[in-house]
Chain A
Amino acid sequence: MIELNVNGRPQAVDADPATPLLYVLRDHLALNGAKFGCGLGQCGACTVMIDGKAAFSCVTPISALPGRKITTVEGLGTADNPGPLQQAFIDEQAAQCGYCIAGMIMRAQALLEANPSPTDDDIRRHMMPNLCRCGTHMRIVRAVQRAARTMKNVKNGAGVNVTTK
């Protein structure tokens, strides 16, 4: 058994330690957010956050993860109660097929936690590892900017910590 911390909850997983995190999230923990895209760390569909940094879950074995905080898109909110980035993607209608979007949101979340006021160029540079085949890129950039504004407003206004880490 390997102990993982996923979205703030401890999870004991019975899987080979060499198993990439992606398969454990999807197959053992029934979390849909991270997607299989390439298994090679080339497309970012599987992106999650590990200790606040964006990571390819498809090439990260679970043996490397005990004691580290794993966050998936499920950890940011729900369809009924979406987090700021999720809401921004809805508001900008920043999805076509949407298969890449959970990974995009997780990579963007890592950016906004490190840099709350990114420029469009910052966002494009940071999002380079993630592929979108539908061509939703410009909407994604807009959604990240919108979320950055929301997060700042909430922070300045009510003093609420909008990150869910």
Chain B
Amino acid sequence: MNSTPSPGLLLSRREFLTTAGALVVGFSLGAVSDLFAQRPQEGAKLPGSLASTPMLDAWIRIGADGTITVCTGKGELGQGIKTALIQIASEELGVQPAAIKPVTADTRTTPDEGYTAGSNSMKDSGTAIQNAAAQVREILIGRAADKLTVSADKLVARDGFVVTDDGRRAAFGELVGDNLTHVRAQPQSKLKDPRTYALVGKPLARVDIPAKVSGGAAYVQDLRLPGMLHARVIRPPSYGARLRDVKVADAETLPGVIKIVRDGNFLAVVAEHEFQAVVAMRALATNASWEMRNRLPDPSDIYGTLRRLPADAIVDLDLNGQAAAPARRLEASYRRPYQMHGAIGPACAIALMKDGTLTVWTHSQGVYPLRKSIAELLHLPEDRIQCVHAEGAGCYGHNGADDAAADAALIARALPDRPVRVQWMREQEHAWEPYGPAMIADVKAALDADGNVVEWTYDVWSNAHSTRPGGAGNLLPAWHLETPFTQPVPKPIPLPEGGGDRNAIPLYKFPNARVVHHFIPSMPVRVSALRALGAYANIFAIESFIDELAAAASVDPVEFRLRHLDDPRARDVIVMAASRFGWANYPAGKGRGRGFAFARYKNLGAYLALAVDIEIDRESGRVKVLRAVAAVDSGQPVNPDGIRNQIEGGIVQSASWTLYEAVSFDTNAITSTDWGSYPIARFADVPGNVDVHVIERPGAPFLGTGEAAQGPTAAALANAIANATGARLRELPLSRTRVKATIGV
């Protein structure tokens, strides 16, 4: 059955074309010169992503009919960015949120904002849209002032009109008619006073949820293009396996099969209907013989393997100050295994090759980098490729999304004029996605006689935390082609963002501190960016060790943290989380434990502190999280309920990583291939209650939220287990088996 393409997902391009028609060429400064009479400061940096995309109408487009389109280079990943950006734009433009049509990442219509990652979307895109909207508003007011012969300071923008106090008005659409907003942004904007905010800082219902609860076309998986075919890829049984031979006759004659595509070790099948593609995929898998190569390391010695691999030592911090004499020394080593993104919906993409032009609908986090990579893969110029973001299942980092887009592109090239939809099977998603890297952190510290930290040494060993496609060599199917692309040697992400050393520098004031990142280029297991990157393991290690030091100094862990912190915003989240949790009055009980942790994500993003209350079943070693209480400071909150939703989810997800998750493998292949062999938290396992308190900082820069809870949750749980049992677990996951072993039942 044919069905029509999803209007919601395809509208954006048409909208852009009609909207852009009103704004294409030329502009007159006119009234604008009054508003921005001062020359931009020499070299002044434009706010947020305006720095890389400075034209106002790249962000805010107002049509002659008054429609307002807001463009972002970021994609909706389920984090609610679309709604938050609508709030920001409508606030500054003085319109209702419903008046804004959002357009998300699309290489033909939106700014290039790189990846939707790193909790940077509010800082990058939110800041750009806030400033662009404010500047567009002032341009419209300036033009209205001329038109209505009223002084600009007597005018306000309201509901799509610029209005005077005596009731006269001019519609945005008629004001903008001559391409008024096709101008470069200015470094300074007349932003609204946060005290007058009507929308920003107030909870707003997410615009994407109604379609998601009612079977609307909400995801790339739901796109149905006319004449669309379904494809499946037959993956090798392990990394680096070579397709020796495949007998295609059985599959070729199956109902609905249109084509079998083979290029070296890349094997795919295309069929009329989706399940026909699945059946043919299985037939091909049965009839394929593979030569196994590239053995995986011994999983029982993976940390030893990592320590033995060549590493580049990067000194992140070397602080030598005055301090009291050390009275006591402690050291410990912490470990984090490979862990999986585990999207509930496997990777999916649709590609259409038509008239030498390729269109790819993808849930990639970076449509522009993906376009560049596919251009290299297919030897096509970038301007013949359009990558359009459409939502997938939550990704939590770099998973199979880009690879599926490359699969679709390769198959569509072999079948021009027919849209091809590829979706991965569960076992493919589990076995082939790039995992969050295994890591080791060694920590040493010295306390003086008063229990203050006077020396701190931290060494972290890690693979790369980004192998995102910036070229074809990081696309999985590119490795399998007859003429393969090889994966480039990865580079560490430099601080202040950091990769393996993200959050490796503690925010605490230690007079002597040395932090070294041992970057391991060689990757025995495929890895890349998983939500929070190295911050997850680093905060787990640092905040666990802080508790160990507090115990050695016989100081309450919350008090110990406050003693070593100057930053008032850090202190505020700690004090709030502790007080809302009832830290001081915690009723200790048998098998019960409380744990605390704090971090400022990347040392430049959101501040988060949390306390957890757990109960341990001595027979099974099961850790039950009874409640968690968090306080978060993300700067000016835009959608406080969105922040709470992200932090609640981050706590639950991190608790699942921390208590249950490790990718399993043997020396041949990955053995975590479904939810049975890679269990994650289910309803019975998640906390009884999670309270998130959002600290408001009116007018402060947006700090982002999405990854702030991942690291602190891990440490808070480890600290709670130590509190409940008296035993310290330093290797993730803090599984039943390990808990049971420490309590010796």
* Co-assembled chains A and B: yes
Instruction: Give the CA-CA distance A74 to B221 in the complex, in Å.
Output: 16
- Asked if B650 and A23 sit within 8 Å, CB to CB, the answer is no
Assuming A40-B674, A128-B684, is B275 touching A98 (CB within 8 A)?
no
For A74, what are the chain B residues with a Cβ–Cβ distance below 8 Å?
214-215
Asked if B376 CB lies within 8 Å of chain A CBs, one says no
Complex Cα–Cα for A127 and B681 (A): 12
* Closest residue on chain B to residue A86 by CB atoms: B213
The answer to whether A95 and B391 touch (CB under 8 A), given A42-B675, A135-B686, is no
Count of chain A to chain B residue pairs whose CB atoms are closer than 8 Å in the complex: 192
User: Smallest Cβ distance from A21 to chain B, in angstroms?
Assistant: 10
Q: Give the residues in chain A near B343, CB-CB below 8 Å.
A: 99, 133
Asked if B646 is at the interface (CB within 8 A of a chain A CB), the reply is yes
Asked if A77 meets B214 with Cβ closer than 8 Å, knowing A30-B224, A90-B209, A139-B645, the reply is: yes
Answer whether residue B306 sits at the interface, using C-beta atoms and an 8 A cutoff. no
CA of A10 to CA of B629 in the docked complex: distance in angstroms? 50
Taking CB atoms, residues of chain B closer than 8 Å to A30 are: 1, 3, 224
8 Å CB interface, B161-215 against A: 205-206, 208-215
Which of chain A's residues 65-123 have a Cβ closer than 8 Å to chain B?
A: 72-74, 76-80, 82, 86, 89-90, 93, 95-102, 105, 123
Q: Which residues of A contact B1 (CB under 8 A)?
A: 27-30
Q: Is the Cβ of B345 less than 8 Å from the Cβ of A37?
A: yes
**CB contact under 8 A between A133 and B426, given known A42-B675, A97-B78, A138-B648:** no
Report the bound CA distance from A102 to B215 in whole Å: 7
Taken together as a complex, chains A and B put the C-alpha atoms of A59 and B14 apart, in Å, by 39
A32 to B215, CA, bound (A): 5
Bound form: Cα–Cα A20–B77 in Å: 29
Q: Which of A6-57 contact B (CB under 8 A)?
A: 15-16, 19-20, 23-24, 26-33, 35-40, 42-43, 45
The reply on B115 being an interface residue by CB < 8 A is no
- The interface residues of chain A lying within 8 Å CB-to-CB of B206 are 93, 95
In chain B, positions 664-715 with a C-beta closer than 8 Å to chain A are: 674-676, 680-684, 686-687, 689-690
**Whole-angstrom distance between the alpha carbons of A32 and B393 in the complex?**
13
Q: Please, which residue of chain B has its CB at the minimum distance from the CB of A44? A: B344
Is the CB of B252 closer than 8 A to any CB of chain A?
no
Interchain CB contact under 8 A, B275 and A32: no
Residue of A nearest to B396 (CB): A133
A130 to B310: give the CA distance in the assembly, Å. 43
Q: Is the CB of A23 within 8 A of B209?
A: no
Chain A residues, CB < 8 A from B255: 16
CB atoms of B273 and A42 under 8 A apart: no
Say whether B626 faces chain A, with CB atoms less than 8 Å apart.
no
Report yes or no: B344 in contact with A99, Cβ–Cβ below 8 A: yes
A143, closest chain B residue (CB): B213
Interfacial residues of chain B within 385-435, with CB under 8 A of chain A in the complex: 391-394, 396, 423, 425-426
How far is the CB of B167 from the nearest CB of chain A, in Å? Answer: 35
Q: Residue B218 at the A interface, CB < 8 A?
A: yes
User: Are A45 and B214 interface neighbours, CB within 8 A?
Assistant: no
Interface assignment of B79: CB less than 8 Å from any CB of chain A: yes
Residues in A neighbouring B680, C-beta threshold 8 A: 131, 133
Nearest A residue to B706, CB-CB: A96
Cβ of A31: which chain B residues have Cβ within 8 Å of it?
Answer: 215
A155 at the interface (CB under 8 A from B): no
Contacting A at CB under 8 A, from B630-680, are 641, 645-646, 648-653, 656, 674-676, 680
Residue contact B645 to A36, C-beta cutoff 8 Å: no
Cross-chain contact A127 with B683 (CB below 8 angstroms):
yes
B15 interface residue, CB < 8 Å from A?
no
Identify which of residues 572-598 in chain B touch chain A, using a CB-to-CB cut-off of 8 Å. none
In the complex, which residue of chain A has the Cβ closest to the Cβ of B276? A16
B342 on the interface (CB 8 Å rule)? yes
Known: A23-B275, A43-B675. A97 touches B77 (CB 8 A): yes
**A154–B653 Cα gap in the complex (Å)?**
36
On chain B, the residues within 8 Å of A33 by CB distance are 214-215
Query: Which residues of chain B are near A165, meaning CB under 8 Å?
Result: none
Interface size on A, residues (CB 8 A): 61
- In the complex, the answer to whether A27 meets B393 with C-beta atoms within 8 Å is no
Min CB distance, B707 to chain A, in Å?
13
Q: CA of A85 to CA of B1 in the docked complex: distance in angstroms?
A: 30
Render B267-308 as a binary contact track against A, CB cut-off 8 A, 1 for contact.
Answer: 000000111101100000000000000000000000000000
**Residue numbers in B under 8 Å from A45 (CB-CB):** 344-345
Given A23-B274, A98-B78, A133-B394, answer yes or no on A138-B686 (Cβ-Cβ < 8 Å): yes
Interface of A is mostly: loop
Contacts of A132 in B (CB 8 A): 344
Closest B residue, CB atoms, query A133 = B344
Tell whether, in the assembled complex, residue B78 and residue A38 are in contact, meaning their CB atoms are under 8 Å apart: no
A124 touches B683 (CB 8 A): yes
Please, which residues of chain A bring their CB within 8 A of the CB of B273? 15, 23, 27-28
Distance, CA A27 to CA B3, complexed state (A): 10
- Which of A133, A136, A139 is within 8 Å of B393, CB to CB? A133
Task: Give bound CA distance, A76 to B214, whole Å.
Answer: 8
Query: Whole-angstrom distance between the alpha carbons of A85 and B56 in the complex?
Result: 42
Contacting pair A134 B214 (CB below 8 A): no
In the complex formed, the residue of A with least CB distance to B641 is A93
Given contacts A23-B273, A38-B674, A98-B209, contact A133 B214 (CB under 8 A): no
A32-B222, A127-B683 given; A105·B213 CB < 8 A: yes
Q: Report the minimum CB–CB distance from B119 to chain A (whole Å).
A: 15
- Bound Cα distance from A78 to B394, whole angstroms: 23
Residue of B nearest to A127 (CB): B683
**Smallest beta-carbon distance A84→chain B, Å:** 11
Residues of B within 8 A of A36 (CB): 221, 345-346, 423
- Pairwise interchain contact A39-B425, C-beta atoms closer than 8 A: yes
In the assembled complex, A152 has its CB within 8 A of some CB on chain B: no
How distant is the Cα of A139 from the Cα of B392 in the complex, in angstroms?
A: 21
State whether A134 touches B3 (Cβ < 8 A).
no
The answer to whether B682 and A128 have CB atoms under 8 Å apart is yes
Chain A proximity of B713: nearest CB distance (Å): 10
A35 touches B645 (CB 8 A): no
* B481 contacts partner chain A, Cβ-Cβ < 8 Å: no
Taking CB atoms, residues of chain A closer than 8 Å to B690 are 138
CB distance from B149 to the nearest CB of A (A): 44
Bound-complex Cα distance A104 to B353 (A): 37
Complex contact A42–B686 (CB within 8 A)? no
Return the contact of A99 from the options B80, B394, B645, B682 (Cβ within 8 A): B394
List, in ascending order, chain A residues with CB within 8 A of B261's CB.
Answer: none
Complex CA distance for A139 and B646, rounded to whole angstroms: 12
B230 at the interface (CB under 8 A from A): yes
Task: Write out the residue numbers on chain B whose beta carbons fall within 8 Å of the beta carbon of A35.
Answer: 219, 221, 344-345, 393
Q: B55 near A: Cβ within 8 Å?
A: no
> Nearest residue in B to A97 (C-beta to C-beta)?
B78
Q: Does A149 contact B (CB under 8 A)?
A: no
- Scan residues 149-164 of chain A and give those whose CB is less than 8 A from a CB of chain B: none
- A37 near B344 with CB under 8 A, answer yes
B216 cross-chain contacts in A, Cβ below 8 A: 32, 79
Task: Rank and list the top 10 A-B pairs by shortest CB-CB distance, nearest first.
Answer: A97-B78, A135-B652, A97-B394, A33-B215, A98-B212, A135-B649, A99-B393, A23-B275, A79-B210, A38-B426
Query: Apart from A31-B215, A96-B645, A134-B394, what 13 extra A-B contacts exist at CB < 8 Å?
Result: A15-B275, A23-B274, A40-B674, A42-B426, A42-B674, A97-B391, A98-B209, A99-B78, A101-B213, A128-B684, A133-B396, A136-B649, A138-B687
Can you name 13 A-B pairs with beta carbons within 8 Å? A16-B279, A24-B275, A27-B275, A38-B675, A89-B209, A99-B78, A99-B345, A124-B683, A125-B684, A128-B684, A133-B680, A137-B681, A139-B645
Q: Point out residues on B near A: beta carbons under 8 Å.
A: 1, 3, 77-80, 205-206, 208-219, 221-222, 224, 230, 255, 273-276, 278-279, 342-346, 391-394, 396, 423, 425-426, 641, 645-646, 648-653, 656, 674-676, 680-684, 686-687, 689-690
